[in-house]
């Protein structure tokens, strides 16, 4: 079996759903259930004996030690992280505690567990750490895309905390021999995305008749990766990646934010037109840019394609159409997230721990 941390979050939930759709290998899901952790994203697995959920923190050494001893995982996939740049600007301490201190405690537990395995199990074990392209900083308009050899130049408390966690993971490989893998991905989008991020926020606000807020001039460029492509890349790295290596995962889809917003508006015009016959693009509103907003990210995903044979299955055009369709078809999920009902359910089930 495998242990997946942060598996009630956006990417983690998609990973678990895809994993169990393709394999009968059980998953232990450890998630703190902060605001972005939503077990309703995994509702289809209710009663499935292959999915074992544990409410807890990666920084809880006693809990993690017990889970490792009890379940004896052959691999750990670490998604657990605070991940929203705006929130890191307003409240950086949570990002330090989870992304830096939490990762340290998790690594300590894993190191102790791994050290006690027999030689065959030790050689087969993997710790896969999921990170972000934001650790590399920002790019100029004509700079080449980020490769795995780019220096780290994080510009927000979020990206700095992820950079620190990446360095810890690397250090545990070089110092202790822990067989680690690191993936640095570009902007994900797709089903179950918490509606504070750009694409789901635009969909939800458009349908509600609210303004569509675009930072600055809207020309911040990102590389967009459909979440299920990201999940397939992680599975491939876990299967065949070389311990100690880093793999950049991107969608080969560099686009400015304003183009993303207009694409979403055009798809909504087609799939769910406004009652007044006007276009959703009329709701676009430019707002003051956020502090330290990186201008451009771009991932060069050549290494993972060359060494592991992975490439994304979706183009941006196919992925964004699937995403808009999913949000239109899953309004109940969106409403529960917006209303906080999912949090109330968590509080009833687990107490106000998140």
Helix (H) or strand (E) holding 28: strand 27-31
Task: Reply yes or no on whether 282 is catalytic.
Answer: no
Which member of 113, 136, 158, 342 is catalytic?
A: 158
* Residues 204, 268 contacting (CB under 8 angstroms): no
Which member of 31, 82, 134, 300 is catalytic?
A: 134
Task: Reply yes or no on whether 347 is catalytic.
Answer: no
How many Å apart are CA 84 and CA 95, to the nearest integer?
Answer: 9
Q: Which contacts of 42-46 are long-range, i.e. CB under 8 A and separated by 24 or more positions?
A: 42/7, 42/8, 42/13, 42/16, 42/17, 44/17, 45/16, 45/17, 45/20
Which member of 31, 82, 133, 223 is catalytic?
A: 133
What is the dihedral sign for C-alpha 257, 260, 336, 52?
A: negative
* Residues 57, 97 contacting (CB under 8 angstroms): no
Exposure b/e, 129-152, CB count within 10 A at least 16 = b: bbbbbbbbbbbeeeeebbebebee
Query: DSSP for 270-309?
Result: HHS--TTS--GGGGEEEEPPPTT---B--B--HHHHHHH-
| Token digits of residue 25 | 């290998």
Question: Residue 54 phi/psi, 5° resolution?
Answer: -130, 125
Task: Reply yes or no on whether 134 is catalytic.
Answer: yes
By annotation, the residues acting in catalysis are: 133-134, 158
């Amino acid at each position: 079996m495998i242990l997946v941390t942060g598996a009630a979050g956006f990417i983690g939930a998609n990973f678990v759903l895809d994993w169990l759709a393709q394999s009968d290998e059980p998953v232990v899901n450890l998630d703190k259930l902060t605001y972005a952790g939503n077990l309703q994203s995994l509702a289809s697995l209710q009663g499935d004996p292959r999915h074992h959920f544990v409410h807890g923190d990666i920084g809880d050494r006693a809990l993690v030690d017990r889970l490792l001893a009890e379940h004896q995982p052959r691999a750990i996939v670490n998604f657990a992280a605070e991940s929203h740049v705006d929130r890191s600007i307003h409240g950086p301490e949570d990002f330090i505690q989870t992304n830096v201190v939490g990762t340290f405690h998790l690594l300590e537990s894993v190191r102790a567990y791994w050290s006690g395995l027999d030689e065959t199990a030790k050689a087969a074990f993997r710790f896969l750490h999921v990170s972000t392209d934001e650790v590399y900083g920002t790019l100029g308009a004509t700079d080449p895309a980020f490769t795995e050899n780019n220096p780290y130049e994080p510009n927000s408390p979020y990206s700095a905390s992820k950079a620190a966690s990446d360095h810890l993971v690397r250090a545990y490989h070089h110092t202790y021999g822990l067989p680690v893998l690191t993936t640095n991905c570009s902007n994900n989008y797709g089903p179950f995305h918490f509606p504070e991020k750009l694409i789901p926020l635009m969909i939800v606000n458009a349908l509600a008749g609210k303004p569509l807020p675009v930072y600055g001039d809207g020309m911040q460029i990102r590389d967009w990766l459909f979440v299920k492509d990201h999940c397939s890349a992680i599975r491939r790295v876990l299967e065949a990646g070389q311990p100690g290596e880093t793999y950049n995962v991107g969608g080969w889809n560099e686009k400015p934010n304003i183009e993303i917003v207009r694409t979403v508006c055009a798809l909504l015009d087609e799939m769910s037109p406004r009652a007044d016959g006007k276009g959703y693009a009329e709701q676009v509103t430019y707002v003051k840019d956020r502090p330290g907003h990186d201008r451009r990210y771009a991932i060069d995903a050549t290494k993972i394609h060359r060494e592991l044979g992975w490439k994304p299955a979706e183009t941006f055009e196919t992925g964004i159409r699937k995403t808009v369709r999913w949000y239109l078809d899953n309004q109940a999920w969106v409403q529960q997230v917006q209303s906080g009902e999912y949090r109330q359910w968590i509080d009833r089930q687990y107490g106000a721990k998140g």
